[in-house]
Structure 1
Amino acid sequence: MRHALPLAPQFYVTAPQPCPYLPGRMERKLFTALQGDQAQKLNDSLSKQGFRRSQNVLYRPSCSECAACLSARIDVRRFSPSKSQRRTIRRNATLARRASSPWATEEQFNLFRRYLDARHADGGMADMDVFEFAAMIEETPIRSRVIEYADTETGNLAAVCLTDMLEDGLSMVYSFYEPTRPQASFGTWMILDHIAIAQEAGLPYVYLGYWVPGSPKMGYKAQFSGLELYRRGQWERFTEADDYSAERHPLSTDPIAEQVANISLPDSRA
């Protein structure tokens, strides 16, 4: 028997689990499936409301006593590279960008494993095998690209980013790079190049995922000018890192039913 998909997205909440950003805290996510003919419109709409994509799921932090995770994006019209970022651009002048459909390769997976083993050996993705990696790259119901950066002098793959194409910008879903060359600042370089791509395409934003005050691993995002954060239901310009707090409070987040009620969904008739 054939069953039709529900007319409106159904939202669910994950069970609490240890927070990967702030020690001693528990995280919880609000999520919905990304499927059907309206998948692209739903991704566009919810990305503007702080959601992120992971394969066929859209999610947003919904922790019961913490609201530290803030969705971050760069307004490319207000971006101006710092002296350090200009040095990173010059340092990576030998990298060549190549974009393709979301298709996983052995070369990508080998780089991914080196990156995880060196940078995130204790993380939630540490045990991913080649099939799970392929699913992460290839299972996408929307417009996505794999953007590779190869060194023209050696021919070696240096960095990779899985990127979604949104109606108002680019979303950097997941990136990884050669861990044995920390001086190259490949992570920063990929963001800088995505800003350049957005500028070339006339797109206003580059979505970076979440910035978390108090989390050292997220500190690099605050180094980009033009940064905006999704906070209290709207985007606001980033000021200074010290202006944001990771303190707990029992009223930090609204009840789940209220959160869902305040989500704007795309008009399926459009």
Structure 2
Amino acid sequence: MGTDSASSGDDLRLFHTGEHPCGYWPERTARDLVLDPRDPRLPKFYPTALGWGFRRSGDLVYRPHCQHCQACVAVRIPVHDFRPDRGQRRCAARNAHIESRIVAAERNEEHFALYRRYLAARHRHGGMDDHSPLEFDQFLIGSWSQGRFLELRDRSDDGHGKLVAVAVTDVVPGALSAVYTFYDPDYEANGLGTLAILRQLEWAQREYRSHLYLGYWIDGHRKMDYKRRYHPLEWFDGREWRRDTLPQRG
């Protein structure tokens, strides 16, 4: 990686990666802007970076910066203006027996077993399905994030409650950021991905946080286009957050 620029007068270094396979479109290559992962100030700067359209994966804070593609658009939900649509209300009602609990972002055997089951079902032969416990920690927790795990448990299963989903969530001043969600493949019909976002929004509302960051929306992508269903939805145009019609980008 080579140094690209300094960030708005701050001396935190910003790197531009080389080309690598795109994680969303297999026929494309991608490049990212990455904040210096060795800088001890990164945890403090991370909330500001979220507001600039960046995202966290492990200890890396990055933003797509592809030469011929602008498909990835950073989006967030203004928490106190959010109104669920009919489908989201049905999802919440259908899963009334699913209880949520916020716990420390620390791997245990239950979390890891669920994660492996999810990857085997959703990402078979995709390079992630053989993740080890160390890779779980590196990808979902990292060494400095102020994250939490939002556990979803089926209380109708037994007294303890079967773990059916985990939403990895970063907690920053004034906001939450949805990092990654994995769930039990047997509960596919329950819409646990949607439920996790609804429960994260409830969490943010309880704590008077202004936004829930959802990462990147990609127009027309079967795994990323769902984010347009949350209203209102703000998107980052590279300079400011907007609440008008989402852009069509290829």
Please, what TM-score do these two structures have when normalized by structure 2?
0.89
Q: Identify if the C-alpha distance between structure 1 residues 21 and 37 changes in structure 2 by more than 3 Å, giving closer, same or farther.
A: closer
The alpha carbon displacement at 1:37 in A equals 5.4
Q: Identify if the C-alpha distance between structure 1 residues 180 and 238 changes in structure 2 by more than 3 Å, giving closer, same or farther.
A: farther
Q: In the alignment, does 2:41 pair up with 1:38?
A: yes
- What is the RMSD computed on CA atoms of the aligned residues? 1.7
The alpha carbon displacement at 1:238 in A equals 4.7
The alpha carbon displacement at 1:51 in A equals 0.5
Which structure carries more relative contact order (alpha carbon 8 Å, separation 6+)? 1
Q: Could you tell me which of 99, 108, 111 is aligned with 1:96?
A: 99
Aligned residue for 2:241?
A: 235
- Secondary structure (helix, strand or coil) at the match of 1:164 reads strand
Aligned residue for 1:254?
A: none
* Count of matched residue pairs: 238
The alpha carbon displacement at 1:232 in A equals 3.0
- Secondary structure (helix, strand or coil) at the match of 2:177 reads strand
Query: How many Å separate the matches in 2 of 1:245 and 1:19?
Result: 16
Structure 1: gaps spanning 5 or more residues? 1-6, 247-270
Q: Could you tell me which of 123, 134, 145 is aligned with 1:120?
A: 123
Alignment of 1:17-166 (within 5 A): 17-34=20-37, 38-154=41-157, 155-166=161-172
Aligned residue for 2:5?
A: none
- Secondary structure (helix, strand or coil) at the match of 1:160 reads strand
Query: How many Å separate the matches in 2 of 1:10 and 1:125?
Result: 29
Q: Identify if the C-alpha distance between structure 1 residues 36 and 23 changes in structure 2 by more than 3 Å, giving closer, same or farther.
A: closer
Query: How many Å separate the matches in 2 of 1:196 and 1:85?
Result: 13
Aligned residue for 1:216?
A: 222
Q: One-letter code of the match for 1:227?
A: L
Q: Identify if the C-alpha distance between structure 1 residues 186 and 146 changes in structure 2 by more than 3 Å, giving closer, same or farther.
A: same
Q: One-letter code of the match for 1:206?
A: L
Query: How many Å separate the matches in 2 of 1:171 and 1:142?
Result: 11
Contact 2:70 2:249 in 1 (8 A): no
Contact 1:34 1:141 in 2 (8 A): no
Contact 1:214 1:245 in 2 (8 A): no
- How many percent identity over aligned positions? 37
Q: Identify if the C-alpha distance between structure 1 residues 234 and 196 changes in structure 2 by more than 3 Å, giving closer, same or farther.
A: same
Query: How many Å separate the matches in 2 of 1:123 and 1:238?
Result: 35
- Secondary structure (helix, strand or coil) at the match of 2:35 reads strand
Contact 2:168 2:179 in 1 (8 A): yes
Structure 2: gaps spanning 5 or more residues? 1-9
Contact 2:59 2:144 in 1 (8 A): yes
Q: Identify if the C-alpha distance between structure 1 residues 238 and 185 changes in structure 2 by more than 3 Å, giving closer, same or farther.
A: farther
Q: Deviations over 1:183-234 (max 9, x none)?
A: 1000000001111111111111001111111311112111111111111321
Q: Could you tell me which of 239, 244, 248 is aligned with 2:248?
A: 244
Aligned residue for 1:191?
A: 197
Q: One-letter code of the match for 1:216?
A: R
Query: How many Å separate the matches in 1 of 2:137 and 2:74?
Result: 26
- Secondary structure (helix, strand or coil) at the match of 2:234 reads strand
Contact 1:145 1:163 in 2 (8 A): yes
